[in-house]
A and B are shown apart, each in its own frame.
Chain A
Amino acid sequence: MIEVKNLSKQFIQKDGDLFTAVDNVSFRVDKGEIVCLLGVNGAGKTTTMRILSTVFEPTSGTAEIEGYDIVSQGHDVRRNLGFLSGDTGLYTRLKVREFLRYFGDLYGLERRVTDARIEEMADMLDMREFLDKKIDFLSTGMRQKVSIVRSIIHNPPVMILDEPTSGLDILTARNIVSFIKRSKEEGKSVLFSTHIMREAERLADRIVLIHQGRILTQGTLDALREETQLSDLDDIFVYFVNKMTDEEVAENE
């Protein structure tokens, strides 16, 4: 379970001004639920997720993962979290198996457990043939699979995946999408982000629309459709962005 409470993050820009990347964001992801953070590039999705992964500290507000506070109980948070983003690269000088075992070790798993997990995931994601190759020689799709296995090697109850399908071909993307669905069936909480509306439509139980660091709205796709009387998620997104801009203009006047 993920519970985000009034989370904000500010960065100091080069001219000394403050830039608010995440502005008072609150939402939750229940057990067995897939929630999609939907927004354009630079909307604050990645920053939010990086805060949840304990890489960044929030400026204000906090969040809990499986009941552990991300600020004060970082270690327990990381133990219960599988995290994947564009910034979690691979050690290319290692072989796939070495790499996965290394992270198994870091999570304190026994070698036996790690190996069993590697076997299981290799079957599921069809990666048996390159398990003993150096990561250097793998294609983008293969690497993304390795990344996914890395993130969930310790079988965490919560998964946060930042654009897990970006840059992948259709087959690999489908492979990963069905993997996310399966994780939900196993009772995991999944938070994922994307700017591909179709993916959000297909996967998410609930959608959180985020723009310029702020949450526009959140709810199930059906609820959003009902509210806006629009069917296409793209249109729904644009509707809410316009609404926000209008409100801002009104505020300023």
Chain B
Amino acid sequence: MNNKKVRKIFFKELLEVYRDKRTLFSTILLPLILYPVIFIGVSSLMTRQNQKMEEETKVIALENFDNYADYDNEELDFVVENIQQKLTSDDKIKIFNGESEIDTLLKEGVIHTIVRLDSISFKEPQTYYFEYKYDGSSDKSSLALDKVKSIISDFEKDLIRVRLSKITDLAEDDAYLNPLSQEAKLTNVASSQQMLGMVVGRLLPYLLIMLLISGGAVVATDLVAGEKERKTLETLLVSSVSRNEIVMGKFFTIVTASLVNVVINMISMYFSFKLMVGQSGSSMVGANIPLSSFVWVLLSLLPLVCLVSALLLIISTYSRNMKEARSYESPLIMVAMMLAMVSMFPGFEMNKGLALVPIVNISLLFKEIMLSGVNLVHFGYTVGSTIILSVIAIIMTIKVFASEKVLFRTQTETSFAGLKKNKAQLLTPAIGLVFYMVMIGLLYYIGFAWQGKAFVNGSVDQEILMREVLRTQIIIIGLPVMIFVNLLFRKGKNSGDKKEARKEMKNFLRYKSFKLSNLVLVPLLAVPAIVISSWLTKIVNYFYPIPEDYFAGMMELMTGKELPLMVIIGVIAVAPAIFEELLFRGLLPRFFEKKGVWSAIIITGILFAIFHLDFYKLLPITFLGCWLGYLLFVSKSIYIPMLAHFMNNFLAVMLGQEFIPTKYASLVEGNDLTSILILTGSVAIFIIINLVIYKTNKGFEEIK
């Protein structure tokens, strides 16, 4: 690679990018103008609006006070008179004088709060029951309520003073009425810098990450997809630069543009924010975020910029034109947005596990730096993992750019006529993924709604739950697969054709005979597999501790009305072995197996795990899914993974229902020598028996 040429490409791309007036406007000029307007304009508008509302006259209605006018009770008269008088004398309050429907007027916003003297208990000491009616959806009504309440509670002290004075002469002393709160002070131990850090730490990470991606995306779209559209890419390719030099030149352009976008936005935001804080006179006046914090932030930002730039470049290279590139970018931006938002969640703090999740880690790291300074361990984890990911992404970019099939991708319009002619075309990874996503959608929107019926008043009705789980297995998972496979193999109407089609379908889904030795060997693996997957759960748990209430919710499933064991086994162990296997070992591998057996095993394994929609079980279920896929391709028959799936779920039910003594389960749970020995043994048995299975079945199925 010739660095000089990379530099030439880089400078030329920058020149082109910033010569475009639109880019110049949206990335440099706009932020410089926009933030001052937004921050200062909006904040001063808000303060003014608040002030205005506070100064506005509020209309208060007194209800039911008249009913107590003729009671001839000295204290009652004193209370009614004083409250009326105090409210009237406040110049911001107007008492509503009218007989009409005050409740309706409150809703219409004519009256802002109603004070109702609901009832009185005349037993000494007398108690007065008030009711306040207000409109929670109206700011003005809420303000009026606060005001009225504070006036009445002020009066309460007067009343106490009167009552006390009847017993003692000391009532004049304020200390009687304010024994605790007279001298109470609020002392905020957070420095003004920390207060600023808290505000900035919540907002800044999200803003920075979004700016970085949006700034990069505009440029990235232009750099390859734009060149394809303007037909200049080949001009570049036929000159004497290598494709790697082109990739690197363009990559650095995107990195630079993202950084420029971030820096300009930050500068503009910084000054606007400072001005705004100065105006508002809050506790953050005079606060400054130390420059070192910004340096740390920028340092940790760099690897993310590289990662995002490489991803954007891949998208741009893959896309045939700019419109396409933009539509492929939008999911990336959406995912990044959601991940970046964690900094705004209260109580979400950095830990080692989160430090390995891209974007989330940077977002939380920023927050931490702003609040309490840099934690080098978290910094290292975050930056290290992001660097590894960006190197992978850059290598991928170079690969993608070198691929003629990707760079000069032609229109692949799928016409129905073409598909009818050659149905095997449907078995591509892309269509497999689409089918899978439809399945996930069905499960999420329909299956979960069904199963939700079982959750009544905070407890679970097991009978309904089991019924709905079974329904989900059959209708949501089994039925769509059968419909799809039927479409693939449908032939003529006569019985001979139908028989032929059924035979082909069975072959396609691998309902085939298998070596009998598998029936002996596979059940031996059930216990080791469960031990290994429970260890994987433990590893996940170490990095991402499972929340207590989550676990409690899981246990709930097991309580409620007892069902016969056979029903539970039928629903939890037998049904998934039939229907989930039909999807994940029957149909889905057919989409992916042309790229090789292992990639089909791993992809379907991961898809299987995601399908369970449970983050904490992702790793153990991926392991099980891959193993089931392995069994499929080794035994060349779906019956063997079905058996293994059944064994696994059956054991889980037995453990859950405590048919297996808990002491066996606890053997795996600890970290002591015994359980580690059990793990080691399990891994050894697992590997050896799987190898034996591989040998006796004479290796993987050969894919045509």
A residues within 8 Å of B by Cβ?
A: 11, 14-16, 50, 53-57, 74-75, 78-79, 81, 83, 85-94, 98, 102-103, 105-108, 150, 154
With beta carbons under 8 angstroms apart, the residue of B240, B404, B410, B411 that contacts A107 is: B240
Question: How far, in angstroms, from A108 to B7 measured CA to CA in the complex?
Answer: 12
B372 to chain A minimum Cβ distance, whole angstroms, is 47
Q: B414: which A residues are within 8 A, CB to CB? A: 14
Given contacts A15-B418, A16-B422, contact A87 B404 (CB under 8 A): no
B425 (CB) vs chain A CBs: closest residue:
A16
Q: Is the CB of B425 within 8 A of A78?
A: no
Residues of A within 8 A of B241 (CB): 106
Main secondary structure of the interface of A (DSSP, over half): loop
Interface residues of B in 1-57 (CB under 8 A from A): 2, 4-5, 8-9, 12, 15-16, 19-20
Other-chain contact of A108, B5, B15, B242, B408 (Cβ < 8 Å): B5
Of the A-B pairs whose beta carbons lie under 8 Å apart in the complex, a sample of 6, sorted by A's number, is A56-B408, A78-B238, A88-B238, A105-B8, A106-B9, A108-B2
A158 to chain B, nearest CB (A): 12
Question: Is B695 an interface residue when CB atoms closer than 8 A count as contact?
Answer: no
Flag whether B282 is at the interface (Cβ < 8 A): no
| CB pair A106 B5 closer than 8 Å | yes
> B412 interface residue, CB < 8 Å from A?
yes
Tell me, yes or no, whether B234 is within 8 Å of chain A by CB: yes
* B123 close to chain A: CB less than 8 A: no
Given contacts A15-B418, A89-B230, A106-B241, list 15 more A-B pairs with CB under 8 A. Answer: A14-B411, A15-B422, A54-B237, A74-B242, A75-B242, A78-B239, A91-B12, A91-B16, A91-B230, A91-B235, A94-B16, A98-B15, A106-B9, A106-B240, A154-B240
Which of under 10, 10 to 19, 20 to 34, or 35 or more describes the interface residues of B?
35 or more
Quote the shortest CB–CB distance from B61 to chain A (angstroms): 69
Cβ of A56 and Cβ of B404 under 8 Å apart? yes
Q: Which of B8, B234, B239, B425 contacts A87 (CB 8 A)?
A: B234
B421 in contact (CB, < 8 A) = yes
> Chain B nearest CB: distance from A59 CB in Å?
11
Give A54's nearest chain B residue, CB to CB: B238
**Contacts from B to A (Cβ < 8 Å):** 2, 4-5, 8-9, 12, 15-16, 19-20, 230-232, 234-242, 404, 408, 410-415, 418, 421-422, 424-425
Q: How far is the CB of B408 from chain A (nearest CB, A)?
A: 7
Residue among A74, A75, A93, A106 with most chain B CB within 10 A:
A106
Q: How far is the CA of A15 from the CA of B418 in the complex (A)?
A: 6
B238 touches A81 (CB 8 A): yes
Please measure, in the bound complex, the distance between the C-alpha atom of A50 and the C-alpha atom of B408, giving whole angstroms. 12
State the 8 A-B residue pairs at the shortest beta-carbon distance, nearest first.
A89-B231, A88-B235, A83-B238, A89-B232, A105-B8, A78-B240, A79-B240, A53-B238
B230 touches A92 (CB 8 A): yes
Which single residue of chain B is at the shortest CB-CB distance from A102? B12
Kindly list chain A residues whose C-beta atoms are within 8 Å of the C-beta of B415: 14
Bound-complex Cα distance A57 to B404 (A): 8
Partner of A94, one of B15, B404, B412, B418: B15
- Choose from A75, A91, A98, A102 the contact partner of B240 (Cβ within 8 Å): A75
A105 in contact with B5 given A56-B404, A75-B240 (CB within 8 Å)? yes
- B418 lies within 8 A of A150 (CB): no
A156-B649 Cα distance, complex, nearest whole Å: 71
Q: Please name all residues of chain A whose beta carbon is closer than 8 Å to the beta carbon of B234 when the two chains form the complex.
A: 50, 53, 55, 85, 87-89
Does B425 lie within 8 Å of A90, measured CB to CB?
no
Shortest CB distance B296–A (Å): 37
Residue of A nearest to B405 (CB): A12
Q: With the chains together, A146 CA to B93 CA distance in Å? A: 80
Nearest-neighbor residue (CB-CB) of A86 within chain B: B231
Q: How far is the CA of A1 from the CA of B234 in the complex (A)?
A: 22
Q: What A residues does B242 contact at CB under 8 A?
A: 74-75
> Are B404's CB and A14's CB within 8 A?
no
Nearest-Cβ distance from residue B23 to partner chain A, whole angstroms: 10
Do residues A55 and B238 form an inter-chain contact, with CB atoms below 8 A?
yes
Q: How far is the CA of A15 from the CA of B239 in the complex (A)?
A: 34
Give the distance in Å from the alpha carbon of A79 to the alpha carbon of B241 in the complex: 9
Residue in chain A with minimal CB distance to B13: A91
Chain A residues contacting B240 (CB-CB under 8 Å) are 75, 78-79, 106-108, 154
Q: Which of chain A's residues has its CB closest to B230's CB?
A: A89
A18 and B54 CA atoms in complex are apart in Å by 77
User: Which residue of A57, A81, A89 is within 8 Å of B235 (Cβ)?
Assistant: A89
Name the residue of chain A whose CB is nearest to the CB of B237: A55
> Which residues of A are found within 8 Å of B425, using beta-carbon distances?
15-16
Kindly state the separation between the CA atoms of A81 and B235 in the bound complex, as whole angstroms: 12
**Residues in B neighbouring A75, C-beta threshold 8 A:** 240, 242
Cβ of B371 to closest chain A Cβ, rounded Å: 45
For the complex, what is the distance from the CA of A81 to the CA of B240, rounded to whole Å?
9
Say yes or no: B239 contacts A107, CB within 8 Å: yes
Chain B residues, CB < 8 A from A55: 234, 237-238, 408
CB distance from A2 to the nearest CB of B (A): 15
Q: A57-B404, A78-B240, A91-B16 are in contact. Are A14 and B418 (CB under 8 A)?
A: yes
Q: Which residues of A contact B8 (CB under 8 A)?
A: 102, 105-106
Assembly CA distance A88 to B238 (angstroms): 9
Q: Which residues of A contact B422 (CB under 8 A)?
A: 15-16
Residues of B within 8 A of A85 (CB): 234
In the complex, which of the residues A50, A55, A75 has the most CB atoms of chain B within 10 Å of its own CB atom? A55
Contact, CB under 8 Å: A103 / B239: yes
Nearest residue (CB) in A for B12 is: A102
A86 cross-chain contacts in B, Cβ below 8 A:
231
A56 surroundings in chain B (CB, below 8 A): 404, 408
Give A220 to B615 CA distance when docked, in angstroms: 73
Closest to B412 in A: A14
Q: What is the CB-to-nearest-CB distance from A125 to chain B, in angstroms, rounded to a whole number?
A: 18
Assembly CA distance A56 to B412 (angstroms): 19
The answer on a CB contact under 8 Å between B239 and A93 is: no
CA distance A83 to B235 in the complex (A): 8
Q: In the complex, which residue of chain B has the Cβ closest to the Cβ of A15? A: B418
Residues of B within 8 Å of A105, CB to CB, are 5, 8
| A15 and B421 form a contact (CB under 8 A) | yes
Give chain A residues whose Cβ lies under 8 Å from the Cβ of B239: 78, 103, 106-107
- Complex CA gap A78/B12 in Å reads 20
B16 touches A93 (CB 8 A): yes
Max chain B Cβ within 10 angstroms of own Cβ: one of A86, A88, A150: A88
Shortest Cβ distance from residue B366 to the other chain A in the assembled complex, whole angstroms: 36
A241 smallest CB distance to B (angstroms) = 27
Contacting pair B413 A14 (CB below 8 A): yes
Q: How far is the CA of A237 from the CA of B238 in the complex (A)?
A: 31
Chain B min CB distance to A155 (Å): 13
Asked if residues B232 and A91 are in contact (CB atoms below 8 Å), the reply is: yes
Enumerate chain B residues within 8 angstroms of A88, measured Cβ to Cβ.
Answer: 231-232, 234-235, 238
Q: How many Å lie between the Cα of A83 and that of B240 in the bound state?
A: 11
Residues on B with beta carbons closer than 8 Å to the beta carbon of A15: 418, 421-422, 425
CB distance from B266 to the nearest CB of A (A): 28
- Nearest-neighbour CB distance to chain A for B248, whole angstroms, equals 14
Chain A residues with Cβ below 8 Å from B232 are 88-91
A contact residues around B418 at 8 Å (CB)? 14-15
Judge whether A93 and B19 touch: CB under 8 Å. yes
Nearest to B411 among chain A residues (CB) is A14
Nearest B residue to A103 by beta-carbon distance?
B239
By a CB distance below 8 angstroms, the chain B residues around A79 are 240
When C-beta atoms are compared, the residue in chain B nearest to A79 turns out to be B240
* Minimum CB distance partner of A107 in chain B: B240
Residues of A near B231 (CB, < 8 A) are 86-89
Q: Residues of B contacting A92 with CB < 8 Å?
A: 230
Nearest CB in chain B to that of A85: its residue:
B234
Q: Are A93 and B238 in contact (CB under 8 A)?
A: no
A94 to B20, CA, bound (A): 10
Please indicate the chain A residues that have their CB under 8 angstroms from the CB of B16 in the complex. Answer: 91, 93-94
Q: CB-nearest residue of chain A relative to B249?
A: A106
Residues of B within 8 A of A89 (CB): 230-232, 234-235
